[in-house]
Structure 1
Amino acid sequence: MNIARHIALIEELCFRPFTAEHDASGVEEGGPGYHVVVLESSQGDCGARAATVEQYEKDRDALYDRLASRWGETAPCNLQTTLLRTEQEEIPEPWAWLSARARVAYLWEAEGTGRWVVVVVVDREQAHDVQLLAVVTETAPP
């Protein structure tokens, strides 16, 4: 993992204009009010899934340390609660999408940008790759 590269990309997303409609192109996707970027991906190596999840959680924690020194320490956000709420209420994107794919998120309000930065490990769906994602959104967490 290249932390410096990931931090630079996250900083860039804090200022990049959002697309008007959902757009998925390669390792990046976005929609009205959010960007999603794949920082790391298991790329089909499901045989070592548990080890990959563990490594990506360590990578997420390393990113947390760097981002917390910039925007402050935050408690992890339990996305299971958000997922349960999707059954009863309309949860805005990208939060509904994230809660269906990840269990825990670290998030910050990026000072001076009006945007939220989220770092997650996507591992809920056994049939899909494990991924380390960064999300930048103008929508506050629900």
Structure 2
Amino acid sequence: MNSNASGSVESATPEACLPLIDSLAVRPFSETVFQDATGDGGSEHLIRVLHRSRDFWEAEDLQVWEQVDAELSVCLDALIAVCTARWGEPLVVDLWAGHWDGAGTDVPEPLCTLRQVTTYMHAWPLPGVDRWLGLALGQADTEFPMELLAVVGLPAALEGARDGGSR
């Protein structure tokens, strides 16, 4: 597996991403909040960038963005299939629905961070540990890189999350 300068894998393939997912699933949470080129985390979550595309500042046409989106979506779908085979059907979490919307409740991490770059994620409770693993494809804005993300969090973060259905 080759990593680029950001710490993410160079090619967005399930074979390259699975070892990072597996290590993230058992990695201890950080005692302090952090953010670096590979992701961010805190005492109750970790977010890891599995793959970061090029940025789109100089993209002259929509085809470049569509190609990157298609490639990352294929990898995401393959990772979802592997995780579903391991842990069963995922909860498809609509990050903009849930008990915290409109109720004046703070959005828990890592959902607060995720909803800045995407609208949904697929999540599985991990057997034998008190945490879940989520996968998502995100982009902060149209000019920024697309990111394939793996997320681990405590079960409380998903309380009240509604199944958003398929994307």
Bin for the TM-score computed over the shorter chain: 0.7 to 0.9
Residue of 30, 34, 41 corresponding to 2:52: 41
Residue of 24, 35, 39 corresponding to 1:13: 24
| Counterpart for residue 76 of structure 2 | 60
Segments of 5+ residues of structure 2 without an aligned counterpart are: 1-11, 160-167
Distance in 2 (alpha carbons) for counterparts of 1:38 and 1:30: 12
Residue 115 of structure 1 deviates from its aligned partner by 1.0
Give the direction of change, closer, same or farther, for the CA distance of 1:36–1:112 in structure 2 (3 Å limit). Answer: same
| Counterpart for residue 121 of structure 1 | 137
In the TM superposition, structure 1's runs of 4+ consecutive aligned residues that sit over 6 Å from their partners are: none
Higher strand share: 1
Relative to the length of structure 2, the TM-score reads: 0.75
List per-residue Cα deviations over 1:9-47 (Å, max 9, x = no partner).
112112111111111222232111111111111131452
Distance in 1 (alpha carbons) for counterparts of 2:95 and 2:69: 17
Relative to the length of structure 1, the TM-score reads: 0.86
| Counterpart for residue 32 of structure 1 | 43
Residue 68 of structure 1 deviates from its aligned partner by 0.4
Matches within 5 A, 1:128-139: 128-139=144-155
Alpha carbon RMSD of aligned pairs, Å? 2.2
Matched residue pairs, number?
A: 142
Give the direction of change, closer, same or farther, for the CA distance of 1:76–1:133 in structure 2 (3 Å limit). Answer: same
Distance in 2 (alpha carbons) for counterparts of 1:42 and 1:97: 19
The share of aligned pairs that are identical, in percent, is 23
Work out which of the two has the higher radius of gyration on C-alpha atoms and give 1 or 2. 2
**What secondary structure is seen at the aligned counterpart in 2 of 1:54?**
helix
